[in-house]
Each structure stands twice: as structure tokens, then as C-alpha cells.
Amino acid sequence: MKLSVLLVGLLSAGLVFAGPPAPKKEGIEGKNYQWNAQEGEKIEALKLKGDKGRGEEAYEVCGACHLPSGAGRPDGTFPQLAGQHTTVLIKQMADIRAGLRDNPTMYPFAATLTDPQELADVSKYIEGLCIPIEHGKYEGPDAAMQVAKGKELYEKQCLECHGKNGEGNKEKFYPVIAGQHYKYLLRQMTEIRDGHRRNANPDMVKVIKPYTNDQLIAISAYQSSLVMPGSMCKPKAGKKK
Ligand code: HEC
Ligand code: HEC
């Protein structure tokens, strides 16, 4: 446990040789890109029944960055994972492992997951975690105005896939957005719009392409205010991390 935390620290600081560099797979920049192609370890992992107990063990190393609660960090460096659909988790991890979504920080750790069973286990564990209520939101004197502006855009063009409360769609691999950090959302949207998140969904790219930076700020402000009833953590009486 302590060893894995130390290893993450050393690796992030570039002090330890992290193994072979991530592979690179043709993504949305290529002509033959097909979003969510049903191939590789992903289909195997999706068919398997995940085991929470084994998943908790496999998650130990992940917690060093994403925190043991799965809350990630409000500064947006590490996304909140708790409560995410198993389908989305498996797809994103398989994409990172295959070099379809670039994530040099996480790659060495994603690469240590051994097989489709471990992908299924760790995803099952993460999906079962409650979504923390304290996360990074838009902070500014104009927050109310930004949220209102973002709501209008969201309901027009994003709700159809990401849901009224940011619940996504498990069967369709649409991610949960509720409880996600403002800064992470803004970074992802900017990368998706600009073609840098190479595993993006082309239908979403079409929608978000014409958005200005100001519109992305507003829509991230709104999304980070969403709450998914029944999935959020209960406010704790005592103090426990
Ligand atoms: C060294 C830090 C680090 C470790 C350890 C780490 N991750 Fe990550 N992870 C990241 C970063 C950074 C991102 C976001 C990258 C980006 O901005 O695209 C991320 C993104 C993800 C995503 C995509 C989330 C989304 O909303 O699309 C998933 C899923 C994920 N990590 C799961 C895991 C799991 C499971 C483990 C353990 C096996 C793990 N991570 C270990 C740094 C880490
Ligand atoms: C056609 C359905 C669809 C529409 C419409 C859509 N999205 Fe998405 N969105 C997706 C899918 C699918 C993904 C995950 C892509 C992948 O597989 O990596 C995604 C990913 C995201 C992410 C990254 C989440 C994460 O955890 O990394 C954000 C943020 C997002 N969408 C915001 C929006 C916003 C804002 C709009 C409206 C302007 C929108 N989406 C419209 C389907 C859609």
C-alpha cells in the first residue's frame, strides 16, 4: 500500500523508469476511425462479472492519484471516478492501454492491470462508490450567470446523451458527468472540440465544434453543478476520509 503510493510519487516526478512508452493507435484524426469499435480486451472485460473485493485490491494503486474515495482532485488534474458506469470505465481504460486516449501520466499504471478480469473487477468496485459531493466547481462572482447560460446550452445539445442530471447512459457508454470537477470538464471539452482527445465520439464532436471558449466555460460551470439523486455520498456526521 505505502509502496504503491511512493511509486506513484516517484513516477510522476519522473524519477523512476516507467517502462515502455505508451503505444499509439489511430483515433479520430484518422480516416478509418470507428468510435467504440467492439474489439480487443474491452469486449472480453464487458462480458465478465466483476468482483468488488478483488477490484478493491486492484484499485489501491489508482487511489494514489484518484484518491481512495474515487473523488479525484478539485484542481482537475485527476478526474473523479466514483459512480462511473462500468462500461465507460472499461472503455476508457482499454483506450488508454491501447494508446487511443493519450494519458502518459496514468499509462504505466493502467499497463499493470493484467487481464480483462482485472479491468472488470476494478470497474465494478469504482462504480459502486458513492459520488462525493464536495468537488471542484466554477468559482467566480458571475457563477450564477455562467451556470444559467450553461444550462440553456446543455439542455439544447447535451442532455440528449448525458441526461438531465448528468447520469449518462450505461448501455451506450455515455459517461456520468455529475460530481465531476469543473476544471477537468473544461479540459476534456476543449480537447474534444479541438480533436486532441482521440477516442472522442464523432456525434459529440459535431455538436461541440462551433462552441467558443466562453461557451465551454459556461457549460462546464453548469455540468459541475449537476447532482444525480441516489448516487451521491451522504454528508457524513463524523469526520472520515
Ligand atoms: C499517476 C496518476 C494516476 C494513476 C496512478 C491512475 N490514474 Fe487514472 N487518470 C489519471 C489522469 C491524469 C487522468 C486524466 C487524463 C486526462 O486529462 O485525459 C486519468 C483518467 C482516468 C480515467 C478516465 C476518466 C474519465 O472520466 O474519462 C479512468 C477510467 C481512470 N483514470 C482509471 C484509473 C484506474 C482504474 C487506475 C488504477 C489502475 C488509475 N486510473 C490510475 C492519472 C492516474
Ligand atoms: C451523441 C451523444 C453525445 C452528445 C450529443 C454529447 N456527448 Fe459528450 N460524450 C459522449 C460520449 C460517448 C463521450 C465519451 C467518449 C469516449 O468514448 O471517450 C462523451 C464525453 C464527454 C465529456 C468527457 C467526460 C469524461 O469523463 O471525460 C464531456 C465533458 C462531455 N462529453 C460533455 C458534453 C457536452 C457539454 C455536450 C453538449 C455540447 C455533449 N457532451 C454532447 C456523447 C455525447
Q: What is the pLDDT along the chain (241 residues), one digit of tens a residue?
A: 455 666 666 666 655 555 678 899 999 999 999 999 999 999 999 999 999 999 999 999 999 999 999 999 999 999 999 999 999 999 999 999 999 999 999 999 999 998 999 999 999 999 999 999 889 999 999 999 999 999 999 999 999 999 999 999 999 999 999 999 999 999 999 999 999 999 999 999 999 999 999 999 999 999 999 999 889 998 876 555 4
Residue 122 beta carbon below 6 angstroms from any ligand 1 atom: yes
Query: Atom of ligand 1 at shortest distance to CA of 59?
Result: 37
pLDDT for 154-194, tens place per residue?
A: 999 999 999 999 999 999 999 999 999 999 999 999 999 99
Question: Among residues 46, 64, 151, 53, which one has the least CA distance to residue 108?
Answer: 64
- Tell me the C-alpha distance between 195 and 86, whole Å: 25
Residue 62 beta carbon below 6 angstroms from any ligand 1 atom: yes
- Contact of 117 with 188, CB cutoff 8 Å: no
Q: How remote is the CA of residue 109 from the centroid of ligand 2, in Å?
A: 25
> If you take atom 18 of ligand 1, which residue's CA is the nearest one?
103
CA 219 to chain centre: 17
Ligand nearest the Cα of residue 173 is 2
- Tell me the C-alpha distance between 69 and 96, whole Å: 22
Give the residue carrying C-alpha cell 457508454: 173
Residue 162 beta carbon below 6 angstroms from any ligand 2 atom: yes
- Tell me the C-alpha distance between 72 and 74, whole Å: 7
Question: Among residues 94, 67, 91, which one has the least CA distance to residue 81?
Answer: 67
Instruction: Return the best residue to mutate from 93, 153, 201, 209 for the ligand 2 pocket (most ligand atoms within 8 A of CB).
Output: 201
Residue 201 beta carbon below 6 angstroms from any ligand 2 atom: yes
Positive or negative, the CA dihedral 70, 74, 79, 80 is: positive
Q: Give Cβ neighbours of residue 203 (< 8 Å, ≥ 6 apart).
A: 161
> If you take atom 36 of ligand 2, which residue's CA is the nearest one?
158
- Contact of 180 with 133, CB cutoff 8 Å: no
Give the residue carrying C-alpha cell 499509462: 107
